[in-house]
Amino acid sequence: MAKVSGLFLLEDAVNKNYIVPAFNISSIAMAKAVLNGAQKAKAPIFLQTNMKNIENFPGTMHPGQQLNSLVKNYDLPIAIHLDHASDTSIISEAYQNHYSSFMLDYSNYSLETNITKIEQASKDIDFTKSGLEAELGVIEGESELFDKNENNALYTDPDQATIFIQKTKIDSLAISIGSRHGLGSSIDYKILADIHKKINKPLVVHGGSGININDFVNLNEHGVKKINFGTKLHKIFSDESKHIELANYIFTLCYNLNANDKI
């Protein structure tokens, strides 16, 4: 099946009641290890780059072209996803180089500005066939995207989330409910339940590396259909000799998310 849209993956996850794993990668070697693990699990995945790790790909060929060429070798539904994007030139280049899923992140702005920026980006680029994710609330923790650690989480307000969805028409919502970029998370299920009750859209949780696998079932039941993993992948894949170790970790995650054997 190879490349599909992010919209396709999320619709399938809703219909079949599972969570699609999303893996942030920073090289083709790392992407191959991730894809090998997903192939073993027969699992659909998001293969992701963010605005920082997209710079790590060598050569003059855009990472989108490199990843599109790579995924043709795998019999999997794979969405090539741009994560935490806010720079218009990077978004445009990813679109032109055939990314098939997008996440815009203006969560550090006010609700009104966040909405305005997403509305403008959606006028400039047609995301309707690929699927558009956006974030409301601030997820704390350590991330290569920020100059310093974010130690002040701002949990997603369920009422604001309703307005946000209505105004932006996004396809999925990334929420702040206690997960952290990096390691160490504690999910606030009261807030999650309130959001799920008000929002009829797939929910996305970032900071998956620190989430206990015992939370996956509850997250799924509360409308979470995509979880992002990055920190632990990069800790495992210190060099290409860790290829098998990373592939096995990916297989295990797919199994625990009930995403295995979905193709």
**Backbone angles phi and psi of 202, in degrees to 5:** -60, 135
**CA separation for the pair 69, 2 (Å, rounded):** 10
Q: What is the per-residue pLDDT across 38-59, written as a single tens digit (0 to 9) for each?
A: 999 999 999 999 998 998 898 8
* 161-185: average pLDDT: 86
Any idea how long the chain is?
263
Cα–Cα distances in angstroms (integers) from residue 228 to residues 59, 111, 149, 244, in the given order: 27, 23, 18, 21
pTM of the predicted protein model? 0.94
Structural tokens at position 221: 């039941």
**CA separation for the pair 245, 238 (Å, rounded):** 11
For residue 175, list its beta bridge partners.
Answer: 136, 205
pLDDT-based confidence at residue 151 (cuts at 50, 70, 90):
very low
Q: What is the per-residue pLDDT across 193-212, written as a single tens digit (0 to 9) for each?
A: 999 999 999 999 998 998 99
pLDDT-based confidence at residue 150 (cuts at 50, 70, 90):
very low
All structural domains of the chain with their residue ranges: 6-256
**CA separation for the pair 224, 18 (Å, rounded):** 9
pLDDT at 55: 87
Query: Domain 6-256 is in which class?
Result: alpha beta
